[in-house]
Amino acid sequence: MSITGLKKKQPKTFKVKVTTVDTEMEFSCEVKWKGKDLFDQVCRALGLRESWFFGLQYSARGLGTWLKMDKKVLDQDIPKEEPVSFCFLAKFYPEKVEEELLQEITQHLFFLQVKKQILDEDIFCSPEVAVLLASYAVQAKYGDYDPNLHKPGFLAPEELLPKRVLRQYQMTPEMWEKKIAAWYAGHQGLARYEAEMNYLKIAEDLEMYGVNYFPIAQKKNRTDFLLGVDAKGIHLYSINNRFSPSKSFEWSSIRNISYSEKELTIKPIDKKAEVFKFFSSQPKAHKLITQLFIGNHDLFMRRRRVDPIEIQQMKAQSREEKARKKVEHQRLAREKQLREEAEHAKEELERRLFEVEDEARQANEALHRSEAAAELLAEKAQIAEEEAKLLARSAVEAEQERHRLELAALKTEEEKRLVEHKMREVELIARKLVKESDRRAKEAEHLKQDLQEAREAEEKAKQRLQGVRRLNHFPVSFTLRGRIAFQQRCSSATHSSQRPHVGTASLRIPRASCIHEDDSVAGQAIRLSLLGAQAKVSFPSRVAGASFLDRVQRLRPRTRAGLLRWPCPLSQLLCSC
């Protein structure tokens, strides 16, 4: 139904749709309501008390127009279709957001509007600032960063950066998300209103923050400009530069502003200063510019006056609310920390319980394995015991066999030792016999030599004796009895292994004519002397004795070492005739 039809039928109400940055509301507006009535209804619905920053905007012939508070809604140039659409937006901006924005809802509405202006590129910001602002926006929406909850890709649906920034760098959405998440992780502990306030404090330092731009031209030289209106004053910009104004008029330096349908005039307080005149191509823009002039100037002057009681109460309530929220936030943060610690402890206990259960399960399995192993070991032990018994019997039998073999070996060893002993005795006897045989052979050889020498000496003695006989015809002879005794002693001494007893053999030579050729008195005397016997020889004359001694001396036996010593002095062989 059109507004014209409403006027004809005079209905009591009509529908209005009010859109904020993040929500939509519908109201039934009475036909007699003024703009302030509808505006107050919206503020009550939002719970907003700081209403002087906001207004209801509608589109009239392509130009954003603000609803006038002192005129009826239906009498203004609003859209004719029902429901009538309005946008609830911030019309004026504070100079310092932290000091002037008292209510959290006011702060939130400003945050949403400024964020939208940045994303729509109505406010320019560098890529670095855009990433930082995006991190505060994420903190305001999602709260503290939790790596277990905020997995990679959780920011994919969000619009956080201006398209100009995304086009400026060749980076993937994942790379941008990683940069934003790195800043976001550093905002731990910030509440939503704190994150939004930090966002606004950074944004208010941007050159285009809070500035409304209008194209204008001066009347004289027709040079085009951009007129900027904000909380601090009026600024003139070139068409291609919206960041640095070429000329500025602070509100405190402006004495008067007047407008007509085509021209606006700004008169400075300094009367010597030039009056600035300009015009816009759209006459309706003059009214809008004038509204912004008046509203910003009023707020500028209001900030520099003592706050009314209502504002003082609101500031006090805001301080109390912030303090309460701070305490509440600290309490919640503490509770969150305790909850996280409890959850961590719970997880640790669950993990420990799982480990204990796993250890118990493993111990139970190990017990079952041990029992099975014990049964197997018992069977093996029984088998081993039986084998041990068999081995014990075998060992006993082996021991008996070994003992028998040892006895046999001992007997054999004893017999062997006896045989060896007998063999050693036989060998010893044989060696003794060989030695004795060698000794006897040597003695026999010596005796043969002695005999030969004695015979030779006897032969020589015979020859001498014959010579003596010629001189002396005295007979020399052994008595038959003495000769036999002498021969017996010589025979017994020759066959004895011990030294013969030293005795005395008496030899009597009666006459020289009694000595036979086979008898050798000297040789017999020498044998007696060698055997240790004492030979006494009687000669018939002294000459015969001397001749005998000389013969005996020549017949003295020799050994390998030299002359054999006589066992008795040679003079003992003599006996006086």
Q: For CATH 2.30.29.30, list the domain ranges present in the chain.
A: 212-305
Sign of CA dihedral 43, 48, 53, 54: negative
The domain made up of 212-305 has a fold known as PH-domain like (2.30.29)
Is-contact 469 509, C-beta < 8 A? Answer: no
Is-contact 484 429, C-beta < 8 A? Answer: no
Q: Which two tokens stand for residue 396?
A: 């006993």
**Whole-angstrom Cα distance, residue 31 to residue 73?**
8
SS3 content of the chain, % helix, strand, coil (to 5): 55, 15, 30
In this predicted structure, what is the pLDDT of residue 201? 94
Task: Concatenate the DSSP letters of all residues of 462-527 into one string.
Answer: HHHHHHHHHH--------HHHHHHHHHHHHHHHS-SSPPP--EEEEE---GGG--TT--HHHHHHH
Sign of CA dihedral 171, 177, 180, 182: negative
Q: Over the range 162-173, which residues count as b (16 or more CB within 10 Å of their CB) and which as e? A: beebeeeeeeee
Q: For CATH 3.10.20.90, list the domain ranges present in the chain.
A: 3-92
In this predicted structure, what is the pLDDT of residue 200? 95
Please identify, in words, the CATH class of the domain defined by 99-203: mainly alpha
Please state the three-class secondary structure of 75-89 as a single string: CCCCCCECCEEEEEE
Q: For CATH 1.20.80.10, list the domain ranges present in the chain.
A: 99-203
Nearest to 43 by CA among 34, 33, 52, 32: 52
Secondary structure of residue 222 in the 3-state scheme: coil
Neighbours of 84 (CB within 10 A): 22
CATH number of 3-92: 3.10.20.90
In this predicted structure, what is the pLDDT of residue 296? 92
**Whole-angstrom Cα distance, residue 89 to residue 369?**
78
**Whole-angstrom Cα distance, residue 205 to residue 95?**
10
Q: Which two tokens stand for residue 104?
A: 């959290």
Tens of pLDDT along the chain (577 residues) come to 555 555 555 568 889 999 998 889 999 888 888 999 999 999 999 999 989 999 999 987 777 889 999 899 888 888 888 888 999 999 999 999 988 898 889 999 999 999 999 999 999 999 999 999 999 999 999 988 888 888 888 888 888 899 999 888 888 889 999 999 999 999 988 888 899 999 999 999 999 999 998 888 876 556 578 889 999 999 989 888 888 888 888 888 888 888 776 778 888 888 887 888 887 767 677 788 888 988 999 999 888 888 788 888 888 887 888 788 788 878 877 887 888 888 888 888 888 888 888 888 888 888 888 888 878 877 887 887 787 788 778 777 877 887 887 787 778 777 778 878 887 887 788 778 778 777 777 877 777 777 777 778 778 877 876 775 665 443 444 343 444 444 454 455 444 444 433 344 444 444 433 333 334 555 555 554 544 444 455 555 666 666 766 665 665 554 444 444 444 444 444 443 3
CA 163 to chain centroid, in Å, comes to 48
pTM of the shown model: 0.59
Nearest to 535 by CA among 560, 513, 503, 511: 503
**Whole-angstrom Cα distance, residue 214 to residue 255?**
22
Q: Which two tokens stand for residue 148?
A: 């277990």
